Structure 1
Amino acid sequence: MKRNLITLCLAILACASLGAGAATPPSAEPASGVPVAENLQADAQAAAELGGAVLLVFVSDRCGYCETVLNEFLIPMSRNTDYSQRIVMRRIVTNSDRPLLNFRGAPLTHRRFAQGVGVRMTPVVQMFGTQGQLLGRPLVGLSTIDYYGHFLDQTIDLAIALGRTQSSAQGKPLSPTPVRP
């Protein structure tokens, strides 16, 4: 009996350890959810067409907090039309040399972009306007899951309001149409 119990416990542990290594790192290409950034200039144009903003989540490999922010908040938000009709979400991998076009269309890497905007730790959620300008303060780290969704909503709402204020102050339409040469 004791031997069967030990065998059963070992079998359960073996099965559990198989699934433990299968977690998707935050830098991996998502099947759905928050795509890895490739062209921020195009993303800003898409946000302008929505009259919204660009949400960038800065993540790194082997960051459990990053996985939590993505899986518990941002990926579900990306499937919600209340958000997808107002913001364009992208993922920046801070420890990656993956190529990226910045908001001006200049080539650089994810790592260099993160350094350029002052991201030193992960996760960080930062909102950008349609011209690549920072909108509001970043949401740094994951203090408490209970309030994070509220803080995230506040960050998004403030950024969209700031972006619209800046656009109207500059005499630009809130939802500009692309100019074709």
Structure 2
Amino acid sequence: MKSFSSALLALTLITLSFLIQAAPLNTPKVFDWSLEASTASKGNKPIMVVFSSDRCNYCDLLNQQVLNPLLKSGDLANRVHLREFKIDRSGKVVDFDGDPIRSHIFVSRYHIYATPTVLLLDQNGNILGEPIVGFNNPVTYKILLDKTIQQAQSMSHISVEKIVTSLQ
């Protein structure tokens, strides 16, 4: 009877692990980075890309404990153009220059080696600041994210000023 109870408990735990829902990031899927860049440019915002994977528990925790609450509050939407990109996705996407690019090449361009990784990009796909790799706890992550966004916004502002100055 004891082995039956143990087997039943193990089966229940396995079943529950399949039923637990991941916490998806509440943003549209990206197929065209040039379109995303155009949208971000209109709002004068950097593009925040969350590189994640389907079986990444830390990605789910990041979404659930930090990003989705910040999206719901409006804090992120007012500061960045947020999109998620699954590194294990196959096929092609449209790159920032409008040309098609394989998903794995897009990921390798930014040297993504772990998930979650958050990058802030300008409208040409250039990195603004240091990436945030991994997830530890929501309090320190929010502080780090805020600093990274501020840094990206200041770098983005400098880039716009250089372009305007060079056109004069």
Tell me the TM-score normalized by structure 1.
Answer: 0.77
Pair 1:34-2:27 in alignment:
yes
Q: Which amino acid aligns with 2:131?
A: P
Structure 2 counterparts to residues 80-91 of structure 1, below 5 A: 80-91=73-84
Q: Give, in angstroms, the shift of residue 110 of structure 1.
A: 2.5
Q: Which amino acid aligns with 1:73?
A: V
Structure 2 counterparts to residues 108-119 of structure 1, below 5 A: 108-119=101-112
The share of aligned pairs that are identical, in percent, is 22
Counterpart in 2 of 1:96? 89
Query: Which ranges of structure 2 fall in alignment gaps of 5 or more residues?
Result: none
Deviates more, 1:9-18 or 1:41-50: 9-18
SS of alignment partner, residue 73 of structure 1: helix
Report Cα offsets for 1:82-121 as digits up to 9, x if no partner.
Answer: 3212211111111221431111111123322111121111
Counterpart in 1 of 2:18? 21
Query: Which ranges of structure 1 fall in alignment gaps of 5 or more residues?
Result: 173-181
SS of alignment partner, residue 119 of structure 1: coil
Alpha-carbon distance between aligned partners in 1 of 2:43 and 2:75, rounded to the nearest angstrom:
12
Contact 1:98 / 1:109 at 8 angstroms: preserved in 2?
yes
Pair 1:71-2:74 in alignment:
no
Supply the RMSD in Å over aligned alpha carbons. Answer: 2.6
Would you tell me which structure has more helix in proportion to its own residues? 2
Q: Which amino acid aligns with 1:160?
A: Q
Pair 1:158-2:158 in alignment:
no
Contact 2:66 / 2:138 at 8 angstroms: preserved in 1?
no
Closer, same or farther in 2 for the Cα pair 1:167/1:23, shift >3 Å?
Answer: farther
Tell me the TM-score normalized by structure 2.
Answer: 0.82
Number of equivalences: 163
Q: Which amino acid aligns with 1:101?
A: V
